[in-house]
Structure 1
């Protein structure tokens, strides 16, 4: 159980650096991603507890990401206008709120080095949107990786990538992409895009959450690193 919780902490840190950034100024609505784990060596029990979907709600500079896992739900809310946000976690019957700012998000991505993006003259359709291809080469945790990303310019200018060192040079909304955390590949692919008006209430912090730091959360459930 402790190893599973530690893995959840790694995923949590990864999603902070990957998804809690500026909402795209040109898009308002909901984007739903499927999450898969290609070439994973996780056992069947652990794999069954991993997140399989990610829902991103965007309005103006506001961004809300919801990830459901077997042990609880994680919600990340971030306002690009202030470069601040909050991660809400429900885990093992407890509710936690972890404050975020630009510095803490960048700290979560400090294991990424030497990023090079090559744009390829290829396109493909993802849920009705024409997507362009990019090959991202990087060193992550001291190991070389080559990641494939597909992005569209039809939903915005790519401001959603502003704080992600792997994809910050891509000027479009990521529709299919991967991230690496502790040697494990997580692949995200859009399965639904819904343009609609979003209420300001979507980004309000509910009551009943205890404010703690990421380090405190790791020490409570993961035993530190």
Structure 2
């Protein structure tokens, strides 16, 4: 089973690079379903193990992203006021925690996307949504987004500049294509406890994690 850990860690970091959160006036929980439209051949053997849902909890300057799959649970915590956070990965019994330092947050700030807006629209969970296509500042990494203006648009750093909150978007990068769609939105009070570290995890550096994914680690 441990042979599956490295490709799944790579996949996990790829998926959650699209969820970078900043301060928002929204407080509550948004659940997204994941549809795997296309993936590399080397990942198809692990498709049954991949997560089907991402749960995002937002409270002001803090956010928690959580996904569970057959082999464990993975969590990303971010505090945009302090520009700090961490990632907890439970993969086949390996419980690892990696800090996300201030440099990583500042790099995200520098990557303002290019956005084109279109007249196409659809309704998601009762929210009217409009279409946009986003690219990085070099014109790469195309992402199709359906966003609503009914929810604050400053919750996700990856969608900086977007006129609304993304309720559906597609990712197509490194031969992997996914469609991520909101399945539930709840505005509710959120406890600060959900943003705290979980006991029982071993601290690991980014360099150590990279070695693991290259086959030279735990």
Deviation, structure 1 residue 96? 1.1
Residue 130 of structure 2, aligned match among 123, 129, 132? 132
Query: Deviation per CA, 1:153-212, whole angstroms, max 9, x where unpaired?
Result: 2111x22232x2xx3221321100122342201221001001111111111112221111
In the other structure, the counterpart of 1:202 is 194
TM-score normalised over the length of structure 1: 0.83
Q: CA deviation at 1:220?
A: 2.8
Partner of 1:103: 103
Q: Secondary structure at the match of 1:159?
A: coil
Unaligned runs of 5+ in 1: none
In the TM superposition, residue 11 of structure 1 has moved relative to its aligned partner by 2.0
Q: Deviations over 1:22-69 (max 9, x none)?
A: 24x221110000011113354754211111100000011110000112
Find the counterpart in structure 2 of residue 27 from structure 1.
Answer: 26
> Secondary structure of 1:104's partner?
helix
Larger displacement relative to structure 2 (62-71 or 36-45): 36-45
Q: Which residue of 1 aligns with 2:18?
A: 18
Asked if 1:180 corresponds to 2:175, the answer is no
Q: Which runs of 5+ in 2 are unaligned?
A: none
* Superposed CA RMSD: 2.8
Residues 1:106 and 1:219: Cα distance change in structure 2 (over 3 Å): farther
Partner in structure 2 of residue 151 of structure 1: 147
User: For this pair of structures, how many residues does the alignment match?
Assistant: 215
